[in-house]
Amino acid sequence: NIEIVDPTQKPRIGGVCYSENENPSIENNDPYIQYDVLLGKQDIEIYGLTQNTKYYYRAFIFDDSFTNITYGDIKSFTTPNIEYITDGLREIDNVVYKFRPGGKVWYSYNRFENISSVTIPEKITYKGVEYKVTGVNDMQGLTNLNSVYFPNTIDTIADDAFYSCTSLKTINIPSSVKYIGNAFTNTPWKNSIKGFKYINNILFYYGSETASTDDIVVNDGTFLISHSAFFKYRDYKQLTFPSSLQEIGACAFVVASKLTKITFKGTTPPKVKIEDEVFD
């Protein structure tokens, strides 16, 4: 917890920088957390710290021209030495969590079979130790579930995570998400998609039976094409992939009987697994 006092009482852009060095600063390229409007008391969360390590930190603000930085007093804290659970399933308040390395868990199943709305937490505490929730899976078949709200800690929505949640219409997918599988098959939300659906530079799904062109050109900046992305549409003849593409999910281009040409604009081709039958 910090408090920033601006003599002019104007909100300023600022934040907190931190380091294992005793004199943390932005000029030294030390890590920092920045806020667009910063004034008064702030609670700031820092992730990815090393256990049993002393860190130094101090607040800062920019002036109106962004040329000068004012720093607060240097303070310090030491991280505890924590033994995290790194695998296995545990149940907390009727929710099953899958424990993973690095103090992280996945929200794996809600035992309330008739639940209509789920708000996934950013973190949980189990036996006095705090874990960050970074993924979701195994929520299949909750037929009364109509809305899901993800926190900004989520980076993975696993394959089949919400398969056949036949009432699911409302979801939010935060910018933190880096992988989405065929997580929403047989849900009203996915069935309502028409044309290309991009989420956070992920080509998630093409939701039309036909297209206006035989040449599918994937947007520049796309780094993932999701599992079964073109399962519904199969009549294209050519595919053009951007240089940014890093991975193609399972069954993304299955049964494309007219596909004769693939163009990749980059030099390092995207990852595919033979067993995933990407171009079966």
Q: So what's the pLDDT on residue 16? A: 87
Query: Partners of 123 in the beta sheet?
Result: 132
pLDDT in tens, 43-58: 777 777 888 899 999 9
Which of 12-26, 186-200, 265-279 comes out lowest in average pLDDT? 12-26
User: Is the pTM for the entire model greater than 0.85?
Assistant: no
Q: Report the phi/psi class of residue 230: left, alpha or beta, with left for phi > 0 and alpha for psi in -120 to 50.
A: alpha
pLDDT in tens, 189-235: 999 999 999 999 999 999 988 877 789 999 999 999 999 999 989 89
Is the pLDDT at 157 greater than 60, yes or no?
yes
Our measurement of the distance from residue 136's CA atom to the centroid of its chain's CA atoms, rounded to an integer in Å, reads: 10
Burial letters 203-221, b for 16+ CB under 10 A, else e:
bbbbbeeeeeeeebebeee
Is the pLDDT at 37 greater than 60, yes or no?
no
Residue 94 in contact with residue 118, Cβ under 8 Å? no
Burial class of residue 224 in the structure, from the number of CB atoms within 10 Å of its CB (0-12 exposed, 13-18 middle, 19+ buried): buried
Which of 25-29, 92-96, 164-168 comes out lowest in average pLDDT? 25-29
Classify 100 as helix, strand or coil: strand
pLDDT in tens, 58-107: 988 887 777 788 898 999 999 888 788 999 999 999 999 999 988 899 99
Is the pLDDT at 179 greater than 70, yes or no?
yes
> Residue 171 corresponds to which amino acid?
I
Distance CA 233, CA 235 (A): 6
Half-sphere exposure in the Cβ direction for 11 (13 Å, CA): 6
Q: Provide the pLDDT confidence category of residue 262 given band limits of 50, 70 and 90.
A: very high
Distance CA 125, CA 107 (A): 13
DSSP-assigned letter for residue 274: G
Distance CA 155, CA 137 (A): 12
CA-nearest of 94, 93, 73, 97 to 85 is 97
Q: So what's the pLDDT on residue 172? A: 94
Burial class of residue 139 in the structure, from the number of CB atoms within 10 Å of its CB (0-12 exposed, 13-18 middle, 19+ buried): buried
Give the residue-averaged pLDDT of 249-259: 93
pLDDT in tens, 113-140: 899 999 999 999 998 889 999 999 999 9
Is the pLDDT at 6 greater than 60, yes or no?
no
Q: Provide the pLDDT confidence category of residue 7 given band limits of 50, 70 and 90.
A: low
Residue length, the chain? Answer: 280
Query: Partners of 248 in the beta sheet?
Result: 225
> Residue 21 corresponds to which amino acid?
N
Q: So what's the pLDDT on residue 5? A: 58
| Helical H segments across the chain, by residue range | 188-191
